[in-house]
A and B are shown apart, each in its own frame.
Chain A
């Protein structure tokens, strides 16, 4: 401890030298920037949770700004706490756990089939089964409503309804479809994480157990499973953490039957201007996120202990499936049909049909894409001819694009400072600070950003309603990926190429411009494109922070859902899916790496 203090407090000469050191100066700048972008919003929202907010002073009986436990009591113990917090918490956890269990079982089997057996078309399935992960979750939710929607909701009926079968509420809305849809979304994640771990497992470990006389099942349960445990646990925790903050699926499938999750409850609180309650809910989501991801960090550390095993022996060896080869292949194929073909076909068909579920030629039309003078009130043209669609597309590209470029560059700079500064505390603080948004689900972080930037604070004007607030929130939200990419790229590069330039006489700026950035071009592209894809299909930040002037594709499509313009909403979602998928394929082409590596780094 004392040693740490010694290294933490630089000597006078150390201080003088460090202040001449560009990496340290840059690091201090970044520290200030991220404190403002990441730490300040979180602190601000936590303060909002325990201070009397604007407009509440009469009800609470203390002046605005004073300390109060009112919001905490309201959310956790008051009569309406059941509806505000406890029921949504229960719903959130049951949906998340349900989705996790199904995804683990199906994904686990698939991962094994894909990496360890002679399944037909392994290579093709290995890519095809990952596709659902590239699509926004609510693609599935919209496809589901297109199929199963019943009379509980207004607007166009679902296909089943119009074919004469009325689907019951439990099938059309609520936990059952939510669990199934999220499970479909997370199966690829399990395939990626678990499959990678399986592939990395040294087959000599199995061989030596077999030679010692262990049976197949003994090998599976005593050797493989224990070694796979960290990967399995990590996949479970990541799914849980991600499902906690899921907003779009419960918004589409839960609200019609009042099935609230924490994120929709938070959204309601914000839209009804209950800032204090919203702050408490956001805080609660953050705490849950922190808990799950702390567990994950611990597990990853455990997992590292196993990784060293690898090496030459990690030869791929496949087990013949025998008579099970055909059924197994059919299983994989049906997963592909359910997870990719069915939802996308449903969505696509729905956009070219006037009346849902009626498959005769006269019912088909391209009006919803390119038609004019439609009889819908707010949307008289096909979606491709609607200016709002194009302005939303432009907004999406502009806002998400700018934020991703900033995040990518900042990530590289963080990587530079972390690997270069002699101040160890600066490196570790930056590393942890930029990782923090990962612990905070998007919707909670959006609420936090709103809490900080909604009003004028000091010289910073109120930013609500501008695209700047969206960009700032997006940058912060994307920093965990960007800084991880930057740090790993800079660590791999090492100091020498820069030092060689320094010895040759290059100044710091020259070194950055002619050596570091060009060498890291590839990493920079990944650090920009990956956040771009997740930003394009993201909902939770925008739903809180966007206003009509800054409407993006995702909020536009949700608004169309609210208006019950099913065809138009589905068309927009298809376009988003196309953008996200195209971007992913482009990244893979550019970097010549699989998505799997990207997820793990």
Chain B
């Protein structure tokens, strides 16, 4: 299982249009890495460059120890020679071939014997639960089955690296859940390195061992799901990950001033679940007004007004307040994220020292 190494790679379509800018990324062998970002952030372009369907404009790309694309040295290894598997968002099944023929195609190209082809095709269809559909055409299958065929078509070649381009986005909610579990299982069963592109943070958080967050062609942060959620590298990552989204309060507002004494240009971020309802006023609470309550089934999202700021609060405990009522909130200072003027996260220690004593004793 090879590692994939992206060394300062960029992709420019024209002078104006830069899709990927100076990305360094190391995908360890056997990893389930997820490229996460809003649509148009360049993640699919990255995937296609790794697959060899797009050429780099700058930088170097290695698969294992082999340099596969480098404009400087003029090296370029064609996609069919990279030994990768790629599953497209649209599945791209060949409509004129049956399921079996679709899966067999790559094996035929490798001139495998009939017996071996049958064995491998049968095995992979069995593993993916589509053995009963061998003679059907793609148009006769449901979306989930087509998805499995697309996976099977790549898996049968036993690729060392499997690239998946938003493979779940065309499925309905329940199927998506099922396939997600399936992918996780497949990752272990087939023992491959998987690179997965999605714009769905939930998908990324549940599936990946590591997440690379991208925005506007640039890599924002790489880390484990927990790490990215708990310590977002910058405001973009903090905003993009989390539902309901992180609350943001400018440092120069009344609330901001109470939470942390910081230069006016800084921003504070508070996750909705880090704001807690408190029945009574204490030294550590702030007065708040409930503007609305939205049950989401199992948890509740409350629209709060605290010190003139609108914040969202989420809780697993049924709130004992009504819309329009006044109540109190508590925010643990160590859970407040702090971002500087450029949007970068300031580390906890720096922030800690800055917490104003006034807050500790006020109200």
Contact = CB atoms under 8 A, between A and B. Distances in A.
Nearest to B110: A505
Contact of A521 (B88, B96, B106, B109): B96
A507 B80 contact: yes
B236 interface: no
Interface in B69-117: 71, 74, 76, 78-81, 84-86, 88, 90-96, 105-106, 109-110
Contacts of B90: 494, 496
B154 interface: yes
B153 interface: yes
Contact of A503 (B71, B74, B95, B154): B154
Nearest to A14: B55
Interface stretch (A212-220, A327-335, A512-520): A512-520
Contacts of A499: 51, 53, 79, 86, 88, 92
Contacts of A500: 86, 88, 92-94, 150, 153
A358 to B, nearest CB: 59
B109 A17 contact: no
B14 A506 contact: no
B80 A497 contact: no
A496 B88 contact: yes
B36 interface: no
A13 B74 contact: yes
Nearest to B16: A3
Contacts of B86: 499-500, 503
Nearest to A3: B15
Given A496-B88, A515-B94, A519-B94, A503 B55 contact: no
A7 interface: yes
Interface residues of A, number: 24
Contact of A3 (B14, B55, B93): B14
Given A16-B74, A497-B92, A521-B96, A506 B80 contact: yes
Contacts of B157: 504-505
Contact of A505 (B51, B80, B96): B80
A429 interface: no
Contact of A518 (B88, B91, B96, B110): B96
Contacts of A57: none
B147 to A, nearest CB: 13
Contacts of B106: 504-505
A10 to B, nearest CB: 11
Interface centre among A502, A503, A510, A521 (most CB of B within 10 A): A503
B152 to A, nearest CB: 12
Interface centre among B74, B78, B92, B96 (most CB of A within 10 A): B92
A506 B102 CA distance: 13
A494 B78 CA distance: 20
A497 to B, nearest CB: 5
A6 interface: yes
Contact of A506 (B91, B96, B105): B105
Nearest to A506: B109
A497 B94 contact: yes
Nearest to A18: B55
A476 B106 CA distance: 38
A522 to B, nearest CB: 10
Contact of A7 (B14, B78, B94, B150): B14
Nearest to A500: B92
Nearest to A504: B106
A518 to B, nearest CB: 4
Interface centre among B93, B109, B150 (most CB of A within 10 A): B109
A269 interface: no
Contacts of A13: 55, 71, 74
A352 interface: no
A519 B93 CA distance: 11
A244 B14 CA distance: 44
A17 B55 contact: yes
Contact of B105 (A16, A501, A507, A521): A501
A527 B37 CA distance: 42
Interface string B155-167: 0010000000000
A506 B84 CA distance: 13
Given A6-B15, A503-B51, A510 B92 contact: no
Given A6-B14, A17-B55, A510-B109, A503 B79 contact: yes
Contacts of A496: 88, 90-92
A517 to B, nearest CB: 10
A504 B53 contact: no
Interface string B129-166: 00000000000000000000010011001000000000
Given A7-B14, A17-B55, A518-B96, A503 B109 contact: no
B92 to A, nearest CB: 3
A519 B106 CA distance: 17
A273 B109 CA distance: 60
A503 B81 CA distance: 8
A496 B16 CA distance: 26
Contacts of A497: 92-95
Nearest to A494: B90
A514 B106 CA distance: 12
Contacts of A514: 105
Interface centre among B78, B80, B154, B157 (most CB of A within 10 A): B80
- Nearest 8 CB-CB pairings of A with B: A496-B92, A504-B106, A500-B92, A505-B80, A518-B96, A496-B88, A497-B92, A503-B86
Given A496-B91, A503-B86, 18 more contacts: A7-B15, A13-B55, A496-B90, A500-B94, A500-B153, A502-B53, A502-B79, A502-B80, A503-B80, A503-B85, A504-B109, A504-B153, A504-B154, A504-B157, A505-B109, A514-B105, A518-B96, A519-B94
10 contacts: A16-B74, A496-B91, A499-B86, A501-B94, A504-B80, A504-B105, A505-B80, A505-B81, A518-B94, A519-B95
